[in-house]
A and B are shown apart, each in its own frame.
Chain A
Amino acid sequence: MNESDKVILLVEDSADDATLTLRAFKRSHLMNPIVVARDGIEALDFLFARGMHADRANAPLPTLVILDLKLPKLDGLGVLKAIRAEPMTQFLPVVILTSSKEEQDLISGYALGANSYVRKPVDFVEFLEAVKVLGIFWLMLNQTPTQRTSS
Chain B
Amino acid sequence: MKISTKGRLATATVLGAIGLIAVATWSAIEEVEQADSQRRQTTEIARALNGLRLVTFEFILHRQARAREQEREVSQRLDHLLADFSAGVSSDDPAAAELTHDLRARNATADRLFVELLASPVVEPSAGSADPATVRFESQLSSRLLILQQETLADAFELSDLAAQRIDAAQRRVAVVTLAGLALIALCACGAAWLVHWKMLRPIARLEQATREVAAGNWGYRLEIHGDDEIAQMARHFNAMTHALRDSFHQIERSNHELAALNKEIEAFSYSVSHDLRGPLRSMDGFALALLEDYSGKLDEDGEDALHRIRAASQRMGRLIDELLGLSRVTRTELSIRPVDLSHMAHEITDSLAKHHPEHPVSLRIDEGMTAQADPALMRIAMQNLLENAWKFTGKSASPAIHVGMRNTGERREFFISDNGVGFDMAYASRLFGAFQRLHHENEFAGTGIGLAIVQRVIRRHGGTIGVQAELGKGATFTFCMQEFEPEHPAAPVPAHADPISHSPAHGGPHAPAEGASCERV
Contacts and interface: CB of A to CB of B under 8 A. Distances in A.
A124 B281 CA distance: 10
Contacts of A16: 279-280, 282-283, 286-287
B293 to A, nearest CB: 8
Interface stretch (A3-11, A39-47, A99-107): A99-107
Contacts of B281: 122
Interface in B281-339: 281-283, 285-287, 289-290, 311, 314-315, 317-319, 322, 325
B286 A23 contact: yes
B283 A17 contact: yes
Interface stretch (B158-166, B270-278, B506-514): B270-278
Given A23-B290, A124-B289, A17 B275 contact: no
Interface string A3-34: 00000000000101100100100000000000
A70 interface: yes
Given A16-B287, A101-B274, A102-B274, A123 B315 contact: yes
Contacts of B286: 16, 20, 23, 124, 127
Contact of A100 (B275, B285, B315): B275
Interface in A119-150: 120-125, 127
Contacts of B311: 123-124
A150 B325 CA distance: 42
Given A122-B318, A123-B318, A20 B271 contact: no
A123 B289 CA distance: 9
A69 B290 CA distance: 25
Contacts of B314: 122
A14 B274 CA distance: 15
A122 B275 contact: no
A9 B236 CA distance: 73
Contact of A122 (B270, B282, B287): B282
Interface residues of A, number: 19
Nearest to B288: A124
Contact of B279 (A17, A23, A102): A17
B329 to A, nearest CB: 8
A127 B315 CA distance: 12
Contacts of A69: 275
Interface in A32-88: 69-70
Contact of B285 (A99, A102, A122): A122
Nearest to B271: A102
B283 A99 contact: no
Given A122-B318, A125-B289, A70 B282 contact: no
Nearest to B312: A123
A47 B325 CA distance: 35
Interface in B153-189: none
Nearest to A70: B275
| Chain A contact residues, majority secondary structure | loop
B266 to A, nearest CB: 13
A136 B331 CA distance: 39
A14 B285 CA distance: 15
A61 B477 CA distance: 61
A75 B25 CA distance: 104
A150 B480 CA distance: 62
Given A122-B314, A122-B318, A127 B282 contact: yes
Most chain A beta-carbon contacts within 10 A, residue among B281, B285, B290: B285
B275 A99 contact: yes
A99 B315 contact: no
Interface hub of B279, B318, B325 (most chain A Cβ within 10 A)? B279
Contacts of B276: 70, 99
Nearest to A21: B286
A120 B271 contact: no
A20 B290 CA distance: 9
B278 A99 contact: yes
Contact of B274 (A20, A100, A124, A127): A100
A20 B291 CA distance: 12
Contacts of A100: 271, 274-275
Contacts of B318: 121-123
Contact of A20 (B283, B315, B319): B283
B6 to A, nearest CB: 67
A14 B287 CA distance: 14
A124 B311 CA distance: 9
B208 to A, nearest CB: 47
A17 B274 contact: no
27 contacts: A14-B279, A16-B280, A16-B286, A17-B279, A20-B282, A20-B283, A20-B286, A20-B287, A23-B286, A23-B290, A69-B275, A98-B275, A99-B278, A101-B325, A102-B274, A121-B318, A122-B278, A122-B282, A122-B315, A122-B318, A123-B285, A123-B311, A123-B315, A123-B318, A124-B285, A124-B289, A124-B311
Interface of B: 270-271, 274-276, 278-283, 285-287, 289-290, 311, 314-315, 317-319, 322, 325
Given A102-B274, A120-B282, A124-B290, 7 more contacts: A20-B286, A23-B286, A99-B274, A100-B274, A101-B325, A102-B271, A124-B286
The 6 closest A-B pairs by CB, nearest first: A122-B318, A16-B283, A20-B286, A124-B286, A99-B278, A124-B289
